[in-house]
Structure 1
Amino acid sequence: MVAWPDDFGTRFTVFVDTEEEFDWSAPLARAGHTLASVTALPGAHRRFADHGVPLTYMVDYPIATDSRAVDILRGLLADGVSAVGTQLHAWVNPPFDEPLTPANSYAGNLPEATEGAKLDTLTHAIEAAFGRRPVAYRAGRYGIGPATLRLLAARGYRLDSSMRARYRYSADGGPDFGAIGNAAFRCGPDKAIVELPLTTVFTGGLRRGGARLYDVLGKIPKGRGLAARLRLVSRVALTPEDMPLADALEAIAVAVGEGVRVLNFAFHSPSLAPGHTPYVRDAADLARFHGWWQAVLAELDRRGIRPASLDALIAAAG
Structure 2
Amino acid sequence: MTYRPPRLTDAQRVVWPEEFGTRFTVFADVEEEFDWNAPLDRRNRATTAMVAFPEAHRRFAERGVALACMVDYPVATDPAAVAILSRVVEDGRSEIGTQLHAWVNPPFPDSAPPGSSYAGNLPRASEAAKLETLTRAITTAFGRAPRAYRAGRYGIGPNSFALLARLGYRIDSSVRPGYDYSADGGPDFSMADAGAYRAEGIVELPLTTVFTGGARWGGAHLYRALGRIPKGRGLFARAHLLSRIALTPEDMPIADALEAVAVAAGEGLRLLNLSFHSPSLVPGHTPYVRDAADLKRFHAWWTVMLDEFERRGIRNASLDEIISALE
TM-score range, shorter chain: over 0.9
Q: Does 1:105 align with 2:143?
A: no
Structure 1 residue 93: deviation in Å?
Answer: 0.2
Aligned residue number for residue 163 of structure 1 = 175
Of the three residues 299, 303, 310, the one matched with 1:294 is: 303
RMSD across aligned positions (CA): 1.0
Give the 3 Å change call, closer, same or farther, for CA 228–99 of structure 1 in structure 2: farther
Structure 1 residue 265: deviation in Å?
Answer: 0.3
Q: What SS is found at the alignment partner of 1:105?
A: coil
Structure 1 residue 99: deviation in Å?
Answer: 3.7
Q: What SS is found at the alignment partner of 1:103?
A: coil
In structure 1, distance between residues paired with 2:114 and 2:239? 34
**For structure 1, which runs of at least 5 residues remain unmatched after alignment?**
none
Give the 3 Å change call, closer, same or farther, for CA 24–256 of structure 1 in structure 2: same
Of the three residues 72, 79, 83, the one matched with 1:60 is: 72
Query: Size of the alignment, in residue pairs?
Result: 315
In structure 1, distance between residues paired with 2:213 and 2:191? 20
TM-score under structure 1 normalisation? 0.97
Q: Is the 8 A contact 2:33 2:44 kept in 1?
A: no
Q: Is the 8 A contact 1:183 1:260 kept in 2?
A: yes
In structure 1, distance between residues paired with 2:283 and 2:115? 29
Structure 1 residue 95: deviation in Å?
Answer: 0.4
Q: What SS is found at the alignment partner of 2:309?
A: helix
Q: What SS is found at the alignment partner of 2:274?
A: strand
Residue identity opposite 1:28 in structure 2: L
Aligned residue number for residue 76 of structure 1 = 88
Structure 1 residue 180: deviation in Å?
Answer: 1.3
Structure 1 residue 39: deviation in Å?
Answer: 0.5
Q: What SS is found at the alignment partner of 1:129?
A: helix
Residue identity opposite 2:251 in structure 1: D
In structure 2, distance between residues paired with 1:46 and 1:90? 30
In structure 1, distance between residues paired with 2:124 and 2:262? 40
In structure 1, distance between residues paired with 2:111 and 2:28? 28
In structure 1, distance between residues paired with 2:256 and 2:298? 14
Q: Deviations over 1:33-63 (max 9, x none)?
A: 4211100000000000111000010000000
Superposed, which structure 2 residues align to 1:128-207 within 5 Å? 128-188=140-200, 192-207=201-216
Q: Does 1:314 align with 2:323?
A: yes
Aligned residue number for residue 19 of structure 2 = 7
**For structure 2, which runs of at least 5 residues remain unmatched after alignment?**
1-12
Aligned residue number for residue 119 of structure 1 = 131
Q: Is the 8 A contact 1:102 1:172 kept in 2?
A: no
Instruction: Determine what percentage of the aligned residue pairs are the same residue.
Output: 66
TM-score under structure 2 normalisation? 0.95
Structure 1 residue 75: deviation in Å?
Answer: 0.7
In structure 2, distance between residues paired with 1:112 and 1:310? 28
The runs of at least 4 consecutive aligned structure 1 residues that moved more than 4 Å come to none
Aligned residue number for residue 90 of structure 1 = 102
Which segment is superposed worse, 61-70 or 173-182? 173-182
Q: Deviations over 1:126-180 (max 9, x none)?
A: 0000000001000000100011001001110000001111211111111111221
In structure 1, distance between residues paired with 2:307 and 2:274? 15
Q: What SS is found at the alignment partner of 1:267?
A: strand
Q: What SS is found at the alignment partner of 2:244?
A: strand
Q: Does 1:220 align with 2:206?
A: no
Q: Does 1:244 align with 2:256?
A: no
